[in-house]
């Protein structure tokens, strides 16, 4: 079976002392999408999952250790996502492997991830720059009484009267929990849209209702995109979550209506 319960995820495991691509644990996307009412064969969005790897090391051709960072792009339409702890273990399995060049490191990681995700995964060394100036308006200063922390409640979502607007809204208050370990996952969520004005109070209540929800990062972003499309019906929509680092990795899923340009890759201060 290919479920988290059948793996070593969430259990104490020894760190690998040799290269092992079998450590990578794919989780099919279709099941969670079906539970949300998303047809995996007719996806309503485009996007990617951008990973930042902060703890990467290998040996050069002479056996001297090298260290680096990496950015990985997993396409939204890959049959599977990669569980983060398994990626951490896999990257550590490269610690004793000799490579002729940094390009060979990227090629090996890309090939192994592509084989497990079922689609081409792009890998490059280095990380995006830190974001210096945020665009848009924060929801977090709204004065609200909130006592609903889950499950996610899309009934809060709605629009206000008025003509279409083009807005960027963000919040640092998105939190969910790992469905395997129960550990908290924190993120900044950025919403770009064109359409009827979204009710900001309702949007913030909705985001806070993820607080006790157990879901993988990618699944949470797809749920938010799906709920906004269904309840607010924007003409254009982009949803990106920039999650904080855990285990030397952070994940930044992005989903958008077709035709939307990908966001400029950046890292937040919390990352």
Please spell the DSSP secondary structure of 198-242, one letter per residue: B-HHHHHHHHHTTTT-B--HHHHHHHHHHHHHHHH--SEEEEEEE
- Residue 86 forms beta bridges with which residues? none
Q: What kind of fold does domain 4-125 have according to CATH? A: GTP Cyclohydrolase I, domain 2 (3.30.1130)
Q: What is the per-residue pLDDT across 169-210, written as a single tens digit (0 to 9) for each?
A: 999 999 999 998 889 999 999 999 999 999 999 999 999 999
* Rounded CA separation 104/133 (Å): 35
User: Is 175 flagged in the annotation as binding?
Assistant: no
The DSSP H or E segment spanning 44 is none
What are the structural domain ranges in the chain?
4-125, 137-256
* Strand positions, DSSP E, 37-140: 46-59, 65-75, 80-82, 122-125, 137-138
On the question of a common fold for 4-125 and 137-256, the answer reads: yes
pLDDT of residue 10: 56
User: Is 222 flagged in the annotation as binding?
Assistant: no
Sign of the dihedral defined by the CA atoms of residues 220, 246, 126, 8, in that order: negative
User: Is 85 flagged in the annotation as binding?
Assistant: yes
* Burial of residue 236, with CB atoms counted within 10 A of its CB: 0-12 exposed, 13-18 middle, 19 or more buried: middle
Query: Other CB atoms closer than 10 Å to residue 158's CB: what's the count?
Result: 15
- Indicate if 178 belongs to the active site: yes
Query: Other CB atoms closer than 10 Å to residue 146's CB: what's the count?
Result: 13
* Rounded CA separation 192/257 (Å): 11
Q: What kind of fold does domain 137-256 have according to CATH? A: GTP Cyclohydrolase I, domain 2 (3.30.1130)
Residue of 49, 112, 185, 227 marked catalytic: 185
- Check: CB of residue 109 under 8 Å from CB of residue 52: no
pLDDT of residue 181: 85
User: Is 218 flagged in the annotation as binding?
Assistant: yes
pLDDT of residue 33: 97
What is this structure's pTM? 0.92
| Residue 15 pLDDT exceeds 80 | no
- Check: CB of residue 262 under 8 Å from CB of residue 76: no
Q: What is the per-residue pLDDT across 38-78, written as a single tens digit (0 to 9) for each?
A: 999 999 999 999 999 999 999 999 999 999 999 999 999 99
Residue of 112, 172, 178, 268 marked catalytic: 178
User: Is 137 flagged in the annotation as binding?
Assistant: no
Backbone angles phi, psi at 154, to 5 degrees: -75, -10
- Check: CB of residue 128 under 8 Å from CB of residue 160: no
Residue 6 pLDDT level (bands cut at 50, 70, 90): low
* Core vs surface per residue 55-89: b (16+ CB within 10 A) or e: bbebeeeeeeeeebebbbbbbbebebbbbbbbbbb
């Amino acid at each position: 079976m290919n479920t988290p319960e059948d793996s070593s995820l969430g259990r104490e495991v020894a760190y690998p002392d040799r290269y092992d691509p079998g450590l990578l644990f794919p989780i099919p996307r279709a099941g969670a999408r079906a539970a949300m009412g998303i047809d995996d064969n007719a996806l309503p969005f485009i996007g990617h999952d951008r990973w930042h790897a902060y703890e990467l090391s290998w040996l050069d051709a002479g056996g001297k250790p090298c260290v680096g960072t990496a950015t990985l792009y997993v396409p939204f339409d890959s049959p599977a996502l990669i569980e983060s702890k398994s990626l951490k273990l896999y990257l550590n399995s490269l610690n004793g492997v000799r490579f002729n060049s940094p390009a060979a490191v990227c090629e090996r990681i890309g090939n192994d991830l592509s084989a497990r995700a079922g689609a081409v995964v792009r890998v490059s060394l280095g990380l995006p720059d830190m974001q210096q100036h945020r665009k848009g308006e924060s929801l977090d200063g709204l004065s609200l009484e909130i006592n609903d922390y889950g499950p996610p409640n899309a009934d809060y979502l709605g629009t206000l009267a008025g003509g279409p607007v083009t807005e960027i809204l963000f919040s640092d208050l998105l939190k969910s929990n790992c469905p395997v370990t129960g550990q908290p996952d924190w993120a900044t969520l950025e919403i770009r849209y064109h359409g009827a004005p979204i009710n900001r109070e309702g949007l913030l209540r909705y985001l806070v209702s993820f607080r006790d929800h157990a879901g993988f990062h990618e699944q949470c972003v797809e749920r938010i995109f799906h709920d906004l499309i269904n309840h607010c019906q924007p003409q254009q929509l982009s949803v990106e979550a920039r999650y904080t680092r855990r285990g030397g990795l952070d994940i930044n899923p992005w989903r958008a209506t077709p035709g939307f340009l990908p966001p400029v890759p950046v890292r937040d201060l919390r990352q």
